[in-house]
Amino acid sequence: MPSPSANPVRVALIGAGDISEQHLTALAKIDGATVVGLADINEPGMHARAEAHGISRDQCFTDAQKMLDAVKPDAVSVCTPNALHGPNTLAALEAGAHVIVEKPMAMNAVEAKAMIDTAKKNDRKLVIGFQFRYDPRTAFVVAQREAGVLGDLRFGRVWALRRRGIPNWGVFGRKDLQGGGPMIDIGVHSLEACHYAMGAPKPVAAVGMTDTYLGNREDATKIENMWPNWDWKTYTVEDLAIGHIRFDNGAVIHIESSFAAHHEHTTTTMDFQLMGTKGGVKWADPQLFTDLNGYMLDARPAYIRKFQWNDYFVAKLTNFIHHVRDDQPTNAPAQHGLMVQQMLDAIYQSADNGGAEIAID
């Protein structure tokens, strides 16, 4: 059998910003993948990124469509700001490439549905860059659910919290380019992992609230914190978001997410907890809660591998490459991305409508 490197998947990247560094580093570690193109409107930044990864200038383009036409990649990794996820994914799919798009899938569920429809029309694979479902701790939680240890899952609690963690780079504070703040940026990480660990039930309704009271204030940028002096003048996203999601199996997820809020979590804290009829489980510091022989029992796994940041990208891109090349199942299908997007949309829509419950079709 020939080595995967003998017939590699030819991958191009759209977007040469910070997240592309993780993709390029990961792809270099994957036997069976080779980078053939890079596109970004920021030409100096793109050339610097390309040079650091051995990509030639003639493989760099300031126009993504021109890159797709010239390079004709087998697969594309979309690493742009959120507002460009949909347009660039559609262009890549229409050009005949399989696509992995960074989280969140799109700016809204309408875009996400169009992406799925375009993938089907062109018989291309579409994968969402959800990475926490590849975490060994997630595998532990899923194993307990699949073994029946948890019984019927009734409730999930999700956190993605920063006390002061508004990025002072990029466009994270601009709703027109991001679609939202902490809920769509970091909340999506914990939410997608929790939803996946629950078995990806269908969401049917959600309520939510959002509030902005620090990020758009100049004085708040002066408080001692890890990322001071963000652009408060262009800050139009929420500081704090709360959501409550119902599913067709009767289960519920409650999510809290913040860029800036008065709580104890001084660094980024991401976690989720599941509660079922037979047991419960916590993700970040993995624990199992159940009853055994007449006693309430708390149990911890003796060993779980700890991922470093780039390990997530190696795992999800390896899965993507095998999905494209070998038709192996993906852990992050587009339909999961759509359901997560529907949850995010409903939380934001509810918040905009005074907390009214929003049905999810």
CATH code, domain carrying 124: 3.40.50.720
Residue type present at position 84: L
The β-bridge relationship of strands 240-247 and 287-292 is: unpaired
Nearest to 54 by CA among 28, 30, 33, 74: 28
206 in Cβ contact with 346 (< 8 Å): yes
pLDDT band at 1 (very low <50, low <70, confident <90, very high): very low
Of the three residues 83, 109, 129, the one that is the final residue of a domain is 129
245 in Cβ contact with 158 (< 8 Å): no
Number of domains forming the structure of the chain: 2
Neighbours of 66 (CB within 10 A): 12
The H or E element spanning position 85 is helix 85-94
Q: Can you tell me the mean pLDDT for 145-165?
A: 98
Helices (H), 204-333: 309-326
pLDDT tens digits, residue range 187-243? 999 999 999 999 999 999 999 999 999 999 999 999 999 999 999 999 999 999 999
Tokens linked to 83: 């507002």
31 and 138: one domain?
Answer: no
Of the three residues 83, 104, 129, the one that is the final residue of a domain is 129
pLDDT band at 3 (very low <50, low <70, confident <90, very high): low
Q: Tell me: cis bond preceding 87? Omega within 30 of 0 counts.
A: no
Specify if 327 maps to a domain.
no
Average pLDDT taken over every residue of the chain: 97
What range defines the domain where residue 274 resides?
A: 133-305+340-359
5, pLDDT greater than 90: no
Specify if 87 maps to a domain.
yes
Specify if 319 maps to a domain.
no
Specify if 322 maps to a domain.
no
Tokens linked to 310: 């780039």
Q: How far is CA 359 from CA 68, 216, 334, 345, in A?
A: 38, 31, 21, 11
161 and 252: one domain?
Answer: yes
Specify if 333 maps to a domain.
no
121 and 150: one domain?
Answer: no
Length of the chain: 361
pLDDT tens digits, residue range 310-356? 999 999 999 999 999 999 999 999 999 999 999 999 999 999 999 99
Q: Can you tell me the mean pLDDT for 42-67?
A: 98
Looking up tokens 């383009």, which residue turns up? 61
Q: Can you tell me the mean pLDDT for 68-80?
A: 98
Q: Can you tell me the mean pLDDT for 166-178?
A: 95
Q: Can you tell me the mean pLDDT for 4-26?
A: 92
